[in-house]
Amino acid sequence: MTDVVVRGLSKSFGSNNVLKALDLLVPSRQFVTLLGPSGCGKTTLLRLIAGLERGNGGEILFGENRVDHLPPGERNIAMVFQSYALYPTMDVARNIGYGLEVRRIPKPERSEKISTVAKVLEIGHLLLRKPKQLSGGQRQRVALGRAMARRPDIFLMDEPLSNLDAKLRSAMRGELRRFHLDLGTTTIYVTHDQLEAMTMSDLVVVMNEGIVQQIGTPEEVYSKPANLFVAGFIGTPPMNLFPATNSDGFLKVANTTLPIQISSDLPRELVIGIRPQEVSVVSTGEPGAIPGKVWMVELIGSERLIEVEIAPKLRITAEVRAKHRAAIDDHVAVRLDPTHLHIFDPVTGKALSA
């Protein structure tokens, strides 16, 4: 089975450095997601691994073998494109079998593999159709079938679900995960959708500006963000991030010294992060709560988001049960759960331990 090792990989388009000496290890048989905002270099990294782009430096290994000099066809990978990229003039069967055809696999064997894949993906009845006669979901399956038919060492997927409607997307998430568990093929999956990353992956690689920000399980990147970028990027609604000071071992936010003890070795200026779910809204005057005024209230189904202004231009969002009543301009206070507090260095952005 095949690890993917990326060492010091750089890529620039003109003066735009898309990847900056990137290191990455994708362990064999794992489902690894490259997650980041658009332009973070995740698709470029995937294309470099596929061989569709050449890097400006660094190396890529599959297991022990260096592959960065090989053309895509010799890397034994399969790729699912965002646009599906089916061959428009070929029917579904030939689309699925094309990789076998160019490798001169004899026809009977090819037909057998095509029908096996078609059966798994439940597209057996579509084999004689042309891509334009298929629905989006069916095209998606054919693209997947084309990738599976060759039994590649590695699957590369570039936002394969982003062109599907919401319902189909959530169904396909489960199916993709299921296929991965059945096949056990190393998979690298690119997405900007954190829900996909969180639900499907063994490991999430959070990227920004051509740099890997954090690699971890979905739980780790959610509950232990390595830096301010990851903290702000992962989670909906996003984590509250606001300035605080280290007041002789106690945390001070907007003139309120909180009964939260921190190491006095920490720098004076800090950035605090806390998820809206760990913030509670209480009445003013409660000890240890930060007083403020309700700035906005939003109902999001079973929960309600309450934004409380605790200082000019400084607002903290709390996610509370929908039955919690609060009106705009009410005087309230917010209490932060100290066990779920994240502390960051405002200069380096790195997470600090309390």
Partner 1 sequence: MKTWVAALLYAVLSAITVVVCFPLLWAISTSLKPKSEIFRWPPTLWPENITFESYRELLFGGAVASAPGAGVPPSAYFLDWFANSVIVSVGSTAISITIATLAAYSLTRFRFWGQRAVPYIAILGYMVPSVIFVFPMFLTMVSLDLTDTLLSLILGYVCITLPFCLWLMWAFFRGVPIEIEEAALVDGASRLQVFRQVVLPVALPGIIAASIFSLIVSWNDYLFGRVFMNSMENLPLTVGVMHFFDGTHVDWGLMMASSVLMTLPMAILFGFMQRHLVAGFGAGAVKG
Query: Applying CB under 8 A, which part among 70-78, 179-187, 192-200, 328-336 lies near partner 1?
Result: 70-78
Q: By CB under 8 A, is residue 89 in contact with partner 1?
A: yes
Q: By CB under 8 A, is residue 99 in contact with partner 1?
A: yes
Q: Are 63 and 232 in contact (CB under 8 A)?
A: no
Q: By CB under 8 A, is residue 77 in contact with partner 1?
A: yes
3-state helix, strand, coil in the chain (%, to 5): 30, 35, 35
Name which position in 25, 85, 120, 311 contacts partner 1 (CB under 8 A).
85
Pairing of strands 186-191, 269-274: unpaired
Name which position in 73, 243, 267, 346 contacts partner 1 (CB under 8 A).
73
Query: Applying CB under 8 A, which part among 83-91, 111-119, 229-237, 259-267 lies near partner 1?
Result: 83-91
Q: Which is nearer to partner 1, 105 or 297 (CB)?
A: 105
Report the half-sphere exposure of 292 (CA within 13 A, side-chain side): 31
Q: How many CB atoms lie within 10 A of CB 232?
A: 16
Rounded Cα distance, 9 and 22, in Å = 5
Q: Are 238 and 232 in contact (CB under 8 A)?
A: yes
Stretch 126-155: interaction string toward partner 1, x if CB under 8 A: ----xxxxx-x--x------x---x-----
Q: Which residues contact 278 (CB under 8 A, 6 or more apart)?
A: 336, 337, 340, 341
What is the nearest approach in angstroms of partner 1 to the Cβ of residue 131? 5
Q: Are 78 and 147 in contact (CB under 8 A)?
A: yes
Query: Applying CB under 8 A, which part among 65-73, 171-179, 180-188, 335-343 lies near partner 1?
Result: 65-73
Q: By CB under 8 A, is residue 16 in contact with partner 1?
A: no
Rounded Cα distance, 143 and 268, in Å = 54
Name which position in 78, 188, 234, 333 contacts partner 1 (CB under 8 A).
78
- DSSP structure string for 13-26: ETTEEEEEEEEEEE
Q: By CB under 8 A, is residue 106 in contact with partner 1?
A: no
Stretch 38-57: interaction string toward partner 1, x if CB under 8 A: ------------xxx-----
Q: By CB under 8 A, is residue 14 in contact with partner 1?
A: no
Footprint on this chain of partner 1 (rule: CB under 8 A): 50-52, 71-74, 77-79, 81, 83-90, 98-99, 102-103, 130-134, 136, 139, 146, 150, 163
